Amino acid sequence: EVQLVESGGGLVKPGGSLRLSCAASGFTFNTYSMNWVRQAPGKGLEWVSSINNRGSSIYYAESVKGRFTISRDNAKNSLYLQMTSLRVEDTAVYYCSRDDKMAPALGIDYWGQGTLVTVSS
């Protein structure tokens, strides 16, 4: 069974930093690209970042480019999102998701339960 478990969310002040983690199990992690998608309170879904299976291709939404860094450790079956210079508008539930290996741009077949990041003074 595919499982994605996020951690690391919490309350942080504007301008602060936070590192999210996602522990993957139930599939061969090093053969899948992975994504972060966020959902602001009461709002819709927004793609944040993607990384290919080897970590050699990385993409970011314009809204987080230069502030967020996606990475992975295939030996630990883990995905990460380092968030710096956080803004109030980054407040959201952050979901780790697995790429479905089909779509050229974005394909998601499994989602984690999410971790809440709140940016507030």
Site track 70-99 with other proteins (rule: CB under 8 A), x = hit: -------------------------x----
**Listed ranges 16-24, 42-50, 71-79, 81-89: which one lies at the site for other proteins (CB under 8 A):** 42-50
Q: Output phi, psi for 69, to 5 deg.
A: -135, 120
Taking CB under 8 A as the rule, does residue 108 contact other proteins? yes
21: burial class by Cβ within 10 Å (0-12, 13-18, 19+)?
middle
Tell me the chain's radius of gyration from C-alpha atoms.
Answer: 13
Taking CB under 8 A as the rule, does residue 109 contact other proteins? yes
